[in-house]
Structure formats: C-alpha cells, structure tokens
Amino acid sequence: MWEELLGVERVGLRDNFFDLGGHSLLVARMVARLQQALRVPIPVRMLFETPIFGEFCDRIEGAASAGAGLPPIEAASRVAGVPDESRATDAQERLWFLQQFDEDAGRAYHLHGTFRIEGPVDRMALQRALNDVVDRHEVLRSRCVRLGAELRQIVDPQARVVLGAVDLRSVPDERRPAAMRDAAREQGRRPFQLDRSPQLRATLYRLGQTEYVLAVTTHHIFADGWSVQILIRELVERYEAHLGAGATARPPARLQFADYARWLRGTERGERRAREREYWSQRLAGLPDLVQLPTDRPRPAVQTFEGAVRRFPVPAELVRALRQRCRDEDVTLYMAALAAWAMVLGRHANQEDFGIGTPVANRPLPELESLIGFFANTVIIRADLGGRPTVRELLRRMRDECLGAYAHSELPFESLVEALHPHRTPDRNPLFQVMLGMHEAVLGPIRLGEAMLTPLPDDPGGAKFDLSLFLAQDGDQLQGMLEYRTALFDEATVQRLQHHFLAALSAVAYLPERPVDEVPLLSAEERHRITARWNETAMVVPEPGPVPLRLAAQAALTPDSVALEAGGVTLTYRRLIARVEATREALRRRGIGRGDRVAVCLERGPDLVVALLGVLACGAAYVPLDPHHPAQRLRHIVADAAPALILLDDPAVPFADGLASLVIADVGDGEPDAQPADWSTGLTAQDLAYLIYTSGSTGMPKGVMISHGALANFLTAMRDMLPLRATDVFVAVTTHAFDIAALELFLPLTLGMRTVLATWEQATSGAELAGLLRTAGASAMQATPVTWRTLLDSGWDCPEGFLALCGGEALPADLAADLLRAGVRLWNLYGPTETTIWSTATELTAGVGVSVGRPVANTRVFVLDGGLAPVPVGVCGELF
C-alpha cells in the first residue's frame, strides 16, 4: 500500500513515510485505504506520530481493539431510464442558496480549466469522450430542485454535452491569445442553470493548424478540485478509445455521488459525528469573528465575489531548506506553510488569535477516490500567536492544530456553523475569511492521441473568500497563487503579502529560534522605500521666517484687501499691521522683548489675533489661555509657564493674581498708516514662538515649546501641500489654546486670504456655524471630527469645492464618507503637539480607506514594531 501510494519500488522497515515523498494529502488517502481494508478506525495522527514503516505496522496491529471504523457505502438500486432522486448534501445546499442569493457568488464557485492541445484533434472523438465521462458519473447529469423544505438532486438518465467549437485563426496573431483568454473566461463565468443538466460545458478554441485550447467548466456543487483531475484523466482515456475502431462503452461507476450523499446523511446522528461536533465546539470556542486585515477599501455591507489572482514561484533553494526543516521538526510542508501564513496574517491584522480555513479532500474511503462529486470539506485551523512563540514553537502549535483538524475533518462545514452559532453578517464568511490550501500540481503534459495536452494557468475572475493562498507541489517545485477580492484589495497590496509570505517561509527554514513577532518580513527594496524614499522631505524654508515678517510681506502686496473679520469688525491688511504695531509697542514699553513669555487670555475676536501677532512681533513667545477653560487648569499653566505678563480682556481674573497684566482695550488701534518697526528683531530659528499646554488627559497639562523655525517650516509645508488660494475665505473655529489654531490664524493671513473668526457660540453650534459659513461665503475651514459631524448633522449645505481640513482626533471612516458625499475636498491631518501641529497630511477620496498620509516638509515618519524595526506597509506598529 505504501509502495503504491508513494510510487516507490520497495519500502523498508526503517523507511520514513515523509522522506519517501509523503505529505498531508497522501496521509489522508493512506488512512482511508487502511480503514477500508481493516475496518478499524485509524487516526490520521498515527501516521504523523509513527512515520517509520515498521513501527507503523506495529501500531496498526494494535488498532483492531479500538472498535469499528466507518460503515461501508452501499450502492442504491437504479432502474434504467428512470431518474434517480436523493437529498442534496449540506454543502450542496449552501452553494445552491449562494447562487440564488447572488449570481456573482455562484460564479465564484465555478470550476474552470483550460488546456493547451498541440497536435491534431479529432473533435467528434473528443465530444464522444466527454459524453462517456458524463454517462459514467451521474452527478454530471444531475440537477438541483427545491421540493418542499428540501433541496433534491435528480439524476437524468441521459444528458448530452455539445462540444463548442470556435475558430480564432482569423483574429490577428498578436490579438489571438487575448481573444482566446477573453472567450474562455466568459465561458467560465456564464451562470449555470442548476435545475438543468448536464452540469458540464466545454469549448474547443482553434488557434492554429494544430494548436488548440480546450476550456472545460462545471459547478462546484457537482464537483471539486480532485474531480477535475479525474475528469481529465477519463476524458483522455476515452478519447484514445474513440480514436481506435470499435470503442466499447465504459460501465458506470458502481458507486455514485448520490450514494455518498445518502451515506453522509445516515451518519449525521451517529456517535462519530457527535464526537466531531464536541471537538470543534471546544476547539473553536471564543474564536474571533473576523481577521482584521487592513484593506484598501472599506468592506462592503454585503460581501462581493469579484476577484483576481496573483501567481508566484517559491525559490527552489528555499523549498529544499523548508523540506529539511520539516524533517527536523517532524512537520509537513503544509504545516510549515501554515505557520508562515499565520505569521503574515497575524502581523498584518495585529491579531494573535484567528481562524484560517483549509480545504480537505474528505474522501474517507478508497472507493470514493475515483468519483466525481462535491466531496471536499473545509476545516478551520486556529492560529494562536499568543505568548511570543518562536518559529519552532509555532510550528509545533500548527502541527497539533492540523492533526486535530485532520482527525475531525468529516463534520460538514455547514454542520460546524450550525453547532457553533457564530455571529453572522452579510459582509463576511462565518468563522474564517482567509484560506490556505495545498495540493498536488494539476496534471502535467499528457498524450492525447497524437497531440499533447497541457494545463494552462487560469484566472477565474472570482474569489470565494477575502484572501486565499494556494500552494501546488510539483515534484521539487512549489508554486503559489493568491486569490483575493478586488472589492477589498489592490494588486499592489497582494504583491506585498506575497513577498511577506516568502520572507516568513524563509524564517521557518532558517530562523527557528526567532520570536515570530520579530521575524523580518521586509525585503531590502521595501525597507529602503519605507525608511528612505518615503521620507525624502528635505526642504529649505525661505525667508522671511517668523510669522510677523511673513504678515508684513503679504500686507505690502495687498494692503487694502480684507485680512480679518471678527465680532462685527473688519480689518484690512493695512489696519491689521497698524494694530499689531500698536500692541508690539505697548508690550515693548512694559519691558517685553526677546526671550520673554506673554500669556494671552482673550475672548475670540479681532483683539485675540492682534495680541498673538503683537507678542511675536516684539520677539516674545505667547502662552495661549482660553478663558472658557477651568480656572484650575489656567492657574496651573500660569504657575508652570511663569509668563512675564498677561494680556487680558478683564483684569479681574483670579488665576492672574500677582502677575503683571495688560488689558488689550488699553492698547488702542495705533496710527492708521503705521508700518512694521523692528519686528522680530534678532530672532533665530531656535527662539521660542509659543509655549502651549496639552489637554492633560493623562495627568497634569504639560507645556510644549515650539520654536520660530519649527512654526515657519510648518507654515511653508502647509502652503505647499494644501490647495489654498489668496481668494479663499477661511473660517477659523478652533480655540487658540489648541495648537492647530496656529494654522487657522496664521496661514491664511500670510497667504493673502480673508480670515473669518467664529465666536465661541458659533464654533460650538452646528446651526450657527453653518449660518456663518453661508453668510461669509467661506471656501475653507479646519476643524476636529466632532465639529465636522455637528456641522453635517445641522443640515449644512456644502458649496462646491469646499476645502475641509480635519484633524485633532482620529477621523472615523463613516464621517469621511459623509463629508465626501457632501461634496467637500477632504484632507486628513495628523500630528502630535510636540512635532508642531501636523506631521502628516493627505487628501482623501471616495472609496479609499482613511489614511494619515505622508510626512510634511523636513519631517521623517516611521512605523516600528516592538523591537523598533520598521514594519511592512499595511502592518500595525507604533508611529515615531
């Protein structure tokens, strides 16, 4: 039995099953044959635990005492010419419901193959051969019909397949291959009428005198991947027979898929099925509903099945190293691949616990091995990455998971879902959304009469799950294919996943003692792109640097344009300069100059903007205080900042006792034509511009010192990144005690815009803010997500092209979508106070996930793992 399955001439007592070429698929077939021959239960684990032939034989001798194995499958009696009828399996019912619900879902479960034929082809012999296969396997003559509460499969006594013929020789040579692929793909996607037989279609495309492509399609409800290989082998055999004289019909198979379906129904209430339910209920208890992989687009409310594939080879040297690692660790190549795939998924999803689906042949008895039908089942491997395991430890965990799953693989997936009652939503597959499959490579070149038939790679255009990785073993070679839903992932993302999987495979082969969360997934090129190329932000900040000098330069260009509207007051750039100069002079007379700190505690109005600019103009740094904040916070800031003076609306404030003060109303408007005099004299980029305090959400408020150089760099970066124009009207709503207010108060004024300062009441009321935006003719505003949501909820009518800057908190995806639907140009901005307001920025578009974007000028950004190493694109980490 070993010699037959492994294809070797002789097996010795000390030979190892896996050293002789055994793998997970052959283990299942070996166990099935032993169980039929001995009629005793043989656990799959037994062959993994005892792969030495002599020792395995000793264990088999002791297995007879374990009790009876699987009951035999009986062939039902059939009456010639009379349709046979039986209940469909649970798996067939699931696919039937999917097709009724969503035609695209049904297409995802088409089994489609294309085969190049080089040499002469007898089309009539090929059609006869196809119908011989249909005659032999009644499942291909079956149709599914809903009768009452049950789905029944009815076998028609006869059904004929018509081999289509398409001659493409008239298509120009350069377009002919693409024309063939398009036509074959269309055949593969054309929906099946599941209530009509036959469930097989085939077309022969002629590309040259002796060059053809055969496309064959059936539905997964009637066949599986194993079945396709049976179909092609039998097709070739019958074609050879019809090329000769007097071809005799091959008798129908003794057992048919309907016999298996009846047998499977008969085992539903048996002790064996109960044990499997108990095993899976315990093993998958508490399994998370979703693998939280980052996607390129938000998950649709209802899952879609449009997909694409990406193929890649695994380097031969790596395959050899993996096989050696597998021998050293007593695991199969599948288990090694599973460990690598779990590492990639865990890193990308930032999860330590999730399920991975894996297909199993589920042909537990040898007589099922030659049948066409939907036998395949799906089991779930629970990936446990908790406790920072090493690669070696993860291999052991995957081995134990696989052995347990193999030993309990007969419970239909539908019965498993029914037993576990997982939370179900229409946007995802229950229990798992990611798959890993491994199989023998599809048939290699086969002689077909005087021609050669060779399988071609095929893109079915559908995806059953979010993301599936399939590996095909072909001798010493290993080929990979990633199938993915195009509604969720872009090809570039899947390409990165491919590279990360190969890196994880390399770690399995060469780094067994490395903790899995420290396994390097980045290629040298990706590491350079992330750490260097994406951080190429160097820029020389042009003069003038300090804000007052920038304002003065702009005022010289547009002196009579409106600069500021606030509290019913309108200031041109000329008048704004005059008032700033008056404030600067008043502060200078009080002894304030370079290096001093001045607290500014004013209501929102023109005096606030003038005061901030006046402090900067005399070379001092401002400390913003919002009079609406709690007195305790203000008292703490004043004590900690130790300002030399405080600018106030009202001198009677308790937190300013003992502090020199200046009432802003006492300053006056200054001379109408006053010019800047010695503004920011002697300041350097290192001098302090403002000292601002954090919210104190994690303790006491902490002061952050921002220099003139940092502020100048920020304003220049925003000028270059944001689509702002001098004709814009910018509404400022943020309290000056929040660092992002510096953009609202300084950037528009240094670019020649009109700034409209909202009052505290307007800034905190959606309806009043909407009214202000309308009456001001606003074209741009910056605000936190809370303010944007309040504004939308008020019924704000967004003008076309309105620029919406959002930051200060995480931007929810639903809010971003709502803003974009409203018609804004939406920018998401991110940055901690310590790095000067915004460190990254990006414009968002509909259908694309929310991102914080890329670094602004002279800023470098890194996302690092726990070991301070760069993480791959799409992988969670800490931002530095």
- The closest of 487, 521, 134, 214 to 340, measured between CA atoms, is 521
Backbone φ, ψ for residue 269 (5° rounding): -105, 15
Q: Are residues 91 and 53 in the same domain?
A: no
Q: How many domains would you assign to the chain?
A: 4
Query: Which residues, in sequence order, are bridge partners of residue 203?
Result: 164, 215
Q: Residue 534 domain-assigned?
A: no
Query: Do 595 and 704 fall within a single domain?
Result: yes
213 bridge partner residues: 116, 205
Residue 78's pLDDT is what? 79
State residue 7's pLDDT score.
66
pLDDT tens figures, 248-285: 778 888 899 999 999 888 877 678 788 889 999 999 99
| pLDDT the model gives residue 265 | 84
pLDDT (0 to 100) of residue 61:
62
Rounded Cα gap, residues 205 and 193, in angstroms: 23
DSSP calls for 644-697: SEEEES-S--GGGTTS-EEEGGGT----TT----STTTT--TTSEEEEEE---T
Which of residues 503 and 475 earns the better pLDDT score? 503
- Residue at token pair 């020199």: 660
Instruction: Say whether pLDDT at 343 is over 90.
Output: yes
Q: What is the token pair recorded at 358?
A: 């894996």
Residue 538 has pLDDT above 90, yes or no: no
Mean pLDDT confidence for 794-812: 94
The confidence band for 523, taking pLDDT boundaries of 50, 70 and 90, is confident
d(CA 115, CA 133) in angstroms, rounded, equals 17
User: What are the tokens at 334?
Assistant: 């599948």
108 and 20 fall within a common domain = no
- 736 pLDDT band (50/70/90 cuts)? very high
For range 754-783, the mean pLDDT: 95
- Domain boundary among the residues 226, 259, 292 is at 259
Which of 38, 66, 94 is where one domain is finished? 66
64's CB contacts (< 8 A; 6+ apart) are 38, 40
Task: Report the length, in residues, of the chain.
Answer: 880
Three-state DSSP class for 135? helix
Cα–Cα dist 262/821, whole Å:
54
d(CA 650, CA 634): 15
Q: Which residues pair with 780 in a beta bridge?
A: 730, 803
Q: Band the pLDDT of 70: cuts 50, 70, 90.
A: low
Q: Which of 96-100, 483-487, 510-514, 751-755 has the lowest mean pLDDT?
A: 96-100
Confirm if 446 and 107 have CB atoms less than 8 A apart: no
pLDDT at residue 676 is higher than 70: yes
Amino acid at position 2, single letter:
W
Q: Give yes or no for residue 41 having a pLDDT over 70.
A: no
Q: Is residue 652 part of a domain?
A: yes
Q: What letters, b where the CB count within 10 A reaches 16 and e where it falls short, cover 714-745?
A: bbbbbeebbebeeebbbbbbbbbbbbbbbbbb
Answer yes or no: is pLDDT of 20 > 70: no
Rounded to an integer, what distance in angstroms lies between the CA atom of residue 491 and that of residue 807?
A: 30
Residues 214-220, mean pLDDT to the nearest whole number: 94
Q: Are 552 and 506 members of one domain?
A: no
Residues 599 and 714 both lie in one domain: yes
DSSP β-bridge partners for residue 152 = 87, 145
């190429």: which residue's tokens?
Answer: 536
Question: pLDDT value at position 608?
Answer: 96
Task: With beta carbons less than 8 A apart as the criterion, state whether 744 and 756 touch.
Answer: no
- Of the CA atoms within 13 Å of residue 185, those in its CB half-sphere come to 14
Same domain, 628 and 767: yes
Is the confidence at residue 77, as pLDDT, over 60?
yes
Residue 504 pLDDT more than 90? yes
Q: How far apart are CA 212 and CA 231, in angstroms?
A: 19
Distance between CA atoms of 432 and 453, rounded to whole angstroms?
37
- Contact, 141 vs 159, CB < 8 A? yes
Helix (H) or strand (E) holding 634: helix 631-641
Task: Measure the CA–CA gap between 601 and 608, rounded to whole angstroms.
Answer: 8
Domain span at residue 11 reads 2-66
Residue 287: exposure state from Cβ atoms within 10 A (0-12, 13-18, ≥19): middle
Tell me which of 33, 66, 99 is where a domain ends: 66
Q: Is 264 a member of any domain?
A: no
Same domain? For 96 and 211 the reply is: yes
CATH of the domain at 605: 3.40.50.12780
- Burial grade of 14 (CB within 10 A; 0-12, 13-18, 19 or more): exposed
pLDDT in tens, 705-734: 999 999 999 999 999 999 999 999 999 999
472 and 353 belong to one structural domain = yes
Task: Tell me the C-alpha to C-alpha distance, in Å, between residue 517 and each of 356, 871, 875.
Answer: 19, 10, 12
Pairing, β 307-314 against β 211-219: unpaired
Lowest mean pLDDT of 3-7, 175-179, 439-443, 457-461, name the range. 3-7
The label of the residue with tokens 């400390």 reads 623
The arithmetic mean of pLDDT across residues 582-610, rounded, is 94
Examine residue 76 and state whether it is found in any structural domain, yes or no. no
Q: Are residues 732 and 664 in the same domain?
A: yes
Nearest to 295 by CA among 348, 347, 355: 348
User: Do strands 621-624 and 597-601 pair parallel, antiparallel, or not at all (unpaired)?
Assistant: parallel
C-beta of residue 770 within 8 angstroms of C-beta of residue 794: yes
Task: Average the pLDDT over each of 108-112, 389-393, 758-762 and give the range with the smallest value.
Answer: 108-112
User: What DSSP state is assigned to residue 157?
Assistant: S
d(CA 398, CA 381): 8
Same-domain check for residues 319 and 210: no
The answer for residues whose C-beta is within 8 angstroms of residue 533's C-beta and 6 or more apart is none
pLDDT at 829: 96
Cα(371)–Cα(222) distance, integer angstroms: 11
Does 242 share its domain with 302? no
Phi, psi of 136 (to 5 degrees): -75, -35
Q: Is residue 454 part of a domain?
A: no
Q: Where are the beta strands (DSSP E) in 713-844?
A: 729-732, 754-757, 780-783, 803-806, 825-830, 840-844
Residue 744, in any domain of the structure? yes
Lowest-pLDDT choice from 60-64, 117-121, 365-369: 60-64
What was the pLDDT predicted at 658?
A: 78
Neighbours of 4 (CB within 10 A): 9
* Rounded Cα distance, 795 and 88, in Å: 54
CATH number at residue 333: 3.30.559.30
Q: In this predicted model, what pLDDT tens digit does every residue of 190-206 receive, in sequence order?
A: 889 999 989 899 999 99
Residues 837-850 have pLDDT tens digits of 999 999 999 877 78
Whether the Cβ atoms of residue 573 and residue 555 lie closer than 8 Å to each other = yes
Per DSSP, the three-state class of 469 is strand
Tell me: pLDDT of 63 over 80: no
Residue 365 confidence (pLDDT): 80
What pLDDT is recorded for position 39? 60
Angle at 155 between CA 216 and CA 161, to 5 degrees: 30
Structure tokens at 16: 């190892």
Angle at 278 between CA 273 and CA 283, to 5 degrees: 125
In a domain, 29, yes or no: yes
Q: Which band of pLDDT confidence, cut at 50, 70 and 90, is reported for residue 44?
A: low
pLDDT at 3: 61
pLDDT higher than threshold 90 for residue 871: no
Q: Which residues are registered as beta bridge partners of 309?
A: 483
Asked if residue 200 belongs to a domain, the reply is yes
CA distance linking residue 454 with residue 447, whole number of Å: 9
The predicted structure's pLDDT at residue 67: 47
**In the predicted model, what is the mean pLDDT of residues 498-513?**
96
Residues 147, 446: Cα–Cα separation, whole Å: 43
CA distance 754 to 637: 32
The CA distance from 864 to 870, in Å, is: 4
CATH for 91: 3.30.559.10
pLDDT reading at 381 higher than 80: yes
CATH of the domain at 38: 1.10.1200.10
Phi, psi of 854 (to 5 degrees): -120, 165
Mean pLDDT of 827-841: 94
Q: Are residues 841 and 720 in the same domain?
A: yes
